[in-house]
Structure 1
């Protein structure tokens, strides 16, 4: 089968090894979402299974949603933890979202990890870049303070997250959805679901329906009000985008912070 090759001689050391580790960890979830296969990892690139894309269908969306619930249920060592075994590999468990580094953590509480390691580092970059203004920064920091204090914490264990689950990383093949380009780590499953909604994944309602059914089947139904908390979980991807993709994302980040403060 022909491969899809990615090459980048300027990539940080261990960048592609980290991608391969994330893909392998996600693929090991029993009954979980289908993950693109890794054929070869090089210092400056990675060769992946080629995915021939087809039009999305409601049935494929529902099946994917159910599989994603099982991926999340496979769990992680802690909030912020890298894929199992990554710490002992040459790349040292370093995580990335796109080309930007992500901090690894071993946190028992979700909120402190999420605010400190997934929102605030990118907010600081966005402020320096001028995409977030002073008044907006204050509101975003206020929202992060509430999150860090545990206002949105619950008793759910860390989920096995894709971590960059926007629609561009959801490929529709004749055999169903295939996921690519993860920022895999331990986190809250609502973060993956919120990222799916951020840029408009096809048949999102069917994905969510499949997810909810499977989550109940594995004894982990979504908590009441999870849709209300979407702005909380979109703070991370919006902060990442505000750090490098312009003023519109700074405005969207500020809006998500306002909606978080209203909860």
Structure 2
């Protein structure tokens, strides 16, 4: 199987893998099992599967659609999807490299362009996933605050509480934040966002650019992407990224004070998916929101 054959017959990739007709090298893939596949013409592709069978319904198809949607903006490098099957996703291989200031500047400007390309509504055209969890992507044309409260905070508070990852006091505090969002005054239209933009989903590549990978692509608030870039130690050259971004599309006044609010969604995803180890981060963000 070479790249030309794969483009014509993507449905055959699982058969070639089952019969070990393709060289396969395991690589890091987050919650999925991932590998680098080397085809007969020497081309490499990145493939991932769910560790158990079957894969969550619609997960890879949704990710493929999100990658294509982000890529279509032509603003930030996004891998080309080659195979999108219910049990497998494969895309072009991007050779990892090192972060640089120049790449960060280009990424910041590109991210502003991506966000500015816009979305028709908050949410997405099909049911989504974020990490191992389903994501309510029901399209909503109303205000951002109630949508963020109902679709991005409330479901993950409930799941986190059900699994004992949050205390009763935590849930009470976050519930109060959710209530305040009902009247949140936010006039920006939906942006085209990555939706899961923690630092691990920025791939610093050998070609001197920063690529977007593993999205939960959706119409959302652009500040959400920027806020989550600061999580878990922060992406390299974050100040450079933000500075370049603001040169293209300045953020609204007070955006720094809203960072914990936007981070709260992804932190709650982590308590919902992975447990109480992330409770402290959730509580710190919620406390910061309540004091702002």
The TM-score normalised by the length of structure 2 is: 0.81
Partners of 2:197 and 2:180 in 1: how far apart?
Answer: 25
Aligned to 1:89: none
- Counting only pairs closer than 5 Å after superposition, residues 106-121 of structure 1 correspond to structure 2 as 106-121=140-155
67, 86, 100: which one pairs with 1:43?
A: 86
Q: Which has the larger radius of gyration?
A: 2
Matched, 1:70 2:113: yes
Higher RCO (CA-CA < 8 Å; seq separation 6+)? 1
Measured after TM superposition, the shift of residue 261 of structure 1 is: 1.4
The 2-side partners of 1:241 and 1:174 are apart by 30
- The aligned counterpart of 1:186 is 219
Q: Which residue of 1 aligns with 2:48?
A: 6
Hey, what does 2:59 align to over in structure 1? Answer: 15
Could you tell me which runs of 5 or more consecutive residues in structure 2 were left unpaired when the two chains were aligned. Answer: 1-42
Give the drift of 1:148: 2.4
Q: May I ask how many residue pairs the two structures share in their alignment?
A: 245
Give the stretch that moved more between structures: 173-182 or 244-253.
Answer: 244-253
Paired with 2:175 and 2:278, the residues of 1 have a C-alpha distance of: 16
Q: Distance in 1 between matches of 2:114 and 2:54?
A: 32
Work out which of the residue numbers 56, 59, 62 in structure 1 matches 2:99.
56
Q: Does 1:131 align with 2:165?
A: yes
Paired position in structure 2 for 1:90: none
Question: Does the Cα contact within 8 Å between 1:95 and 1:104 map onto a contact in 2?
Answer: yes
Preserved CA contact (<8 Å) 2:78 2:211: yes
CA contact (8 A) 1:132 1:251 kept: no
Provide Cα deviations, 1:175-194, integer angstroms capped at 9, x if missing partner.
30111110001110000001
**What residue is the counterpart of 1:24 in the other structure?**
68
CA RMSD of aligned residues (A): 1.2
